[in-house]
């Protein structure tokens, strides 16, 4: 008797395409590696908003995922196929340009002023409070939507930032290792943050398979994930990668407290809230390490990267504002924040619901 494949950890099946470029790429990936058309993706330079363009963002995600878990039934040799890397570069250029326009030029600061500048960036962030909405008034269906969006990141949490490790040395590397050790549960599977999030998904009746909900999330969700991959996969953007992580750690404790309280308001148990409760304490510590030891240590060693650190932090905040605005505007208009996709949202059958876990809702 054959044993069913365990798809919790990937690779995921190829998603549905969202435009001509991603359609051509999906079709190509189903075949053995070969040269893509030299002009594939040339039109991506002219998209109106690269951060919310479905075709561009899915194209990037398809390319980037080859460096993570890969795609089910796709030849792994595609990862370094030259014409695919050329396509990736054609999609990255408008995305990075759009990010730089979105955040504007970083403030001119001396390396010693980077920690204070990071604090100022976060303090000045005036994005909509998605966390407050989830704590106080979101329905169970809306909370499930939020978790569905975030599953694309959290089921591989810490992996994109780990690209920075071989590119650093000294205090910055030691600080990043300290943060990542906690993210990976100090080597214990049951304490890995990705595993804790999988438990939350299970309690909400959602399919916990790796990238199981990829077809449902819109471009802005993909952009939030592609942003980290862009920074992580380019050594020249290592400062931006650390700035991005610092911004995440600096803006994590209070929102996660609110997420946990929102789940408790909706009747979920302490097993469901453990992921968020864990981040309340851990990220308060990580914030200081990320700002002073990691980013501060980097710019002491490489002062020319100060502007990149601030760019990465500003980009993280800006894309999260776009993401929050999309969810809140969708819900205010009485519509789902997820994309319509073939088939319903993947859920756990109600008869499998365990004590403390809510059955799937319509």
Per-residue pLDDT tens over the stretch 113-144: 999 999 999 999 987 899 999 999 999 999 99
pLDDT for the residue numbered 345: 45
Query: Which domains, ranges and CATH numbers included, belong to the chain?
Result: 20-102 (no CATH), 108-352 (1.20.910.10)
Q: Which residues of the chain have pLDDT under 70?
A: 1-5, 283, 342-362
What CA–CA distances, in Å, run from 326 to 128, 216, 222, 319? 10, 14, 13, 11
Q: How far is CA 186 from CA 182, 190, 201, in A?
A: 6, 10, 22
- Whether the CA torsion 273, 278, 279, 281 is positive or negative: it is positive
Query: Please, what is the end-to-end C-alpha distance for the chain in angstroms?
Result: 35
pLDDT of residue 358: 53
Question: CA geometry: angle at 204 spanning 203 and 206, to 5°?
Answer: 105
Is 0.85 surpassed by the pTM of this model? Answer: yes
């Amino acid at each position: 008797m054959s044993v069913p494949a365990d798809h919790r950890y990937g690779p995921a099946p190829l998603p549905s395409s969202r435009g001509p470029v991603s359609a051509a790429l999906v079709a190509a990936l189903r075949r053995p590696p070969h040269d893509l058309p030299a002009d594939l993706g040339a039109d991506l330079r002219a998209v109106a908003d690269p951060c919310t363009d479905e075709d561009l963002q899915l194209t990037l995600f398809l390319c980037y995922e080859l460096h993570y878990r890969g795609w089910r039934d796709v030849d792994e040799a595609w990862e370094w196929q030259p014409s695919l890397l050329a396509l990736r570069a054609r999609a990255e250029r408008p995305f990075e340009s759009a990010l730089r326009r979105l955040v504007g030029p970083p403030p001119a600061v001396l390396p010693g002023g980077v920690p204070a500048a990071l604090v100022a960036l976060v303090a000045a962030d005036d994005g909509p409070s998605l966390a407050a909405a989830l704590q106080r008034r979101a329905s169970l269906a809306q909370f499930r939507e939020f978790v569905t969006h975030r599953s694309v990141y959290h089921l591989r949490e810490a992996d994109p930032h780990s690209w920075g490790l071989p590119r650093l040395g000294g205090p910055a590397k030691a600080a990043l290792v300290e943060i990542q050790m906690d993210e990976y549960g100090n080597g214990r599977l049951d304490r890995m943050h990705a595993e804790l999030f999988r438990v939350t998904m299970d309690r909400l009746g959602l399919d916990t398979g790796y990238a199981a909900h990829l077809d449902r999330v819109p471009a802005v969700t993909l952009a939030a994930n592609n942003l980290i991959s862009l920074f992580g996969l380019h050594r020249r953007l290592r400062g931006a990668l650390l700035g991005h992580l610092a911004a995440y750690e600096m803006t994590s404790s209070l929102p996660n407290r609110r997420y946990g309280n929102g789940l408790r308001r909706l009747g979920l148990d302490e097993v469901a809230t453990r992921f968020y409760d864990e981040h309340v304490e851990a990220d308060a510590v990580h914030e200081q390490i990320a700002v002073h030891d990691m980013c501060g240590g980097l710019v002491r060693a490489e002062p020319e990267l100060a502007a990149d650190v601030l760019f990465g932090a500003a980009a993280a905040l800006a894309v999260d504002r776009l993401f929050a605005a999309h969810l809140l505007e969708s819900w205010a208009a009485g519509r789902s924040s997820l994309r319509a996709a073939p088939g319903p949202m993947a859920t756990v059958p109600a008869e499998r619901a365990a004590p403390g876990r809510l059955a799937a809702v319509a």
